[in-house]
């Protein structure tokens, strides 16, 4: 049996704690970006759904949307929605492809799917210094930060899930912290504490925290002594297939030459023996 990536019970507890005193500036950034992207789509969505661990935020962003919790089985009815948003939760999924397939099945024909999730460059500074500090002190490494996918791999999941016109893109943000404890507080207040199933259950020791911060400052600290933390957000977009959607032409069926469109002179390829 394949071990689980995520301890879902602990993840739910961490998110409940975060909702009591949240720091959701990254979620707010994502919500603003998705709203901006929706204005560029020439369509009014009347039956949206959002998969989110923070429904209060999305209730204000998309009033009247169906809000469902991030779970292994999503509470989405087949064919019920013309828009499904998976909002900053897909990186915790044991089966991200299965999550996208569930969202695609919930879409009406020509419905839109948008996912936003943390990408592989997120917290690369913290991951590097934690690994070095733990190796120095303990001689071993333990899983402390959830592994995050790369844009190329995650973008391919859209086609595997049966979505048409797939697009994957990313944006990065650099957040500055006065010390490591401030960074850890923000992670806790976003519900992003370590919920890996194979993690060490004991809290990080003071010695490890101090060693990590010292390496962080030496390796990545800026001139003011602040600690930078990179956040990469990946956006995955695809459409439920529909006969009305544009289809690519078959090779050889183009009605115009590319050279003519570019105003260029076409140079035929030569055979190797010429």
pLDDT tens for residues 224-263?
999 999 999 999 999 999 877 766 555 555 555 655 655 5
How high is the pLDDT of residue 149? 80
Question: Which of 233, 234, 88 shows the shortest CA–CA distance to 173?
Answer: 233
Q: What is the pLDDT of residue 254?
A: 55
Can you give the pLDDT of all 274 residues of the chain as single tens digits? 566 788 899 999 999 999 999 999 999 999 999 999 999 998 899 999 999 999 999 999 999 999 999 999 999 999 999 999 999 999 999 999 999 999 999 999 999 999 999 998 999 999 999 989 988 887 666 666 777 788 888 889 999 999 999 999 999 999 999 999 999 999 999 999 888 877 766 677 889 899 999 999 999 999 999 999 999 999 999 999 987 776 655 555 555 565 565 555 655 555 555 5
Looking at residue 243, its pLDDT comes to: 79
For the record, the structure tokens of 193 come out as 């504490």
- Report the alpha-carbon distance of residue 8 to residue 55 in Å, rounded: 18
CB burial of 188-201 (b: ≥16 within 10 Å; e: otherwise) equals: ebbbbbbbbeebee
- Residue 203 pLDDT: 73
Phi/psi at 254 (5° precision) = -65, 145
Question: CA distances (Å), 241 to each of 75, 107, 154, 166, 269, in order?
Answer: 22, 10, 19, 11, 38
Angstrom distance (rounded) from CA 94 to CA 91: 8
Chain centroid, CA 134 distance in Å: 27
pLDDT at 252: 56
Query: How much is the pLDDT for 239?
Result: 97
> Structure pTM?
0.84
Q: How far is CA 248 from CA 245, 254, 256, in A?
A: 10, 10, 15
Q: Which residues contact 68 (CB under 8 A, 6 or more apart)?
A: 49, 50, 51, 52, 74, 75, 76
Task: Tell me the pLDDT tens digit for each residue of 107-141.
Answer: 999 999 999 999 989 999 999 999 899 888 876 66
DSSP per-residue codes, 134-174: HHHHHS-----S-----HHHHHHHHHHTT-EEEEEEEEEEE
Instruction: State the pLDDT at residue 63.
Output: 93
Sheet containing 66-68: order of strands = 66-68, 48-51, 81-87, 107-118, 227-239, 164-177
Domain 8-120+145-178+231-262, CATH? 3.40.50.150
Quote the DSSP letter at residue 107: E
Tell me what pLDDT residue 273 has.
Answer: 52
Exposure on the CB side of residue 195, measured as CA atoms within 13 A = 21
Rounded to an integer, what distance in angstroms lies between the CA atom of residue 78 and that of residue 20?
Answer: 33
Dihedral of CA 90/105/112/247: which sign? positive
């Amino acid at each position: 049996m394949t071990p689980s990536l995520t301890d879902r019970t602990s993840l739910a507890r961490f998110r409940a704690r975060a909702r009591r005193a949240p720091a959701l500036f990254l979620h707010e950034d994502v919500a603003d970006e998705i709203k901006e992207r929706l204005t560029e789509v020439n369509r009014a969505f009347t039956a949206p759904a959002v998969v989110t661990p923070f429904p209060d935020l999305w209730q204000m962003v998309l009033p009247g949307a169906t809000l469902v919790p991030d779970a292994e089985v999503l509470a989405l009815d087949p064919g019920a929605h013309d828009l499904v948003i998976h909002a900053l939760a897909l990186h915790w999924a044991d089966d991200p492809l299965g999550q996208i397939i569930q969202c695609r099945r919930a879409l009406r024909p020509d419905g839109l799917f948008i996912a936003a999730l943390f990408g592989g460059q997120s917290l690369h500074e913290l991951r590097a210094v934690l690994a070095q500090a733990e190796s120095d002190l303990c001689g071993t490494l333990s899983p402390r930060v959830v592994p995050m996918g790369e844009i190329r791999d995650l973008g391919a999941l859209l086609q595997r899930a049966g979505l048409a016109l797939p697009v994957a893109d990313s944006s990065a943000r650099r957040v500055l912290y006065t010390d490591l404890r401030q960074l850890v507080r923000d992670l806790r207040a976003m519900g992003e504490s370590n919920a890996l199933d194979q993690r060490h259950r004991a809290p990080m020791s003071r010695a490890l925290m101090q060693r990590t911060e010292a390496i962080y400052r030496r390796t990545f600290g800026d001139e003011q002594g602040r600690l930078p933390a990179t956040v990469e957000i990946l956006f995955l977009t695809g459409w439920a297939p529909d006969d009305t959607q544009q289809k690519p032409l078959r090779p050889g069926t183009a009605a115009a030459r590319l050279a003519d469109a570019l105003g260029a002179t076409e140079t035929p390829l030569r055979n190797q023996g010429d």
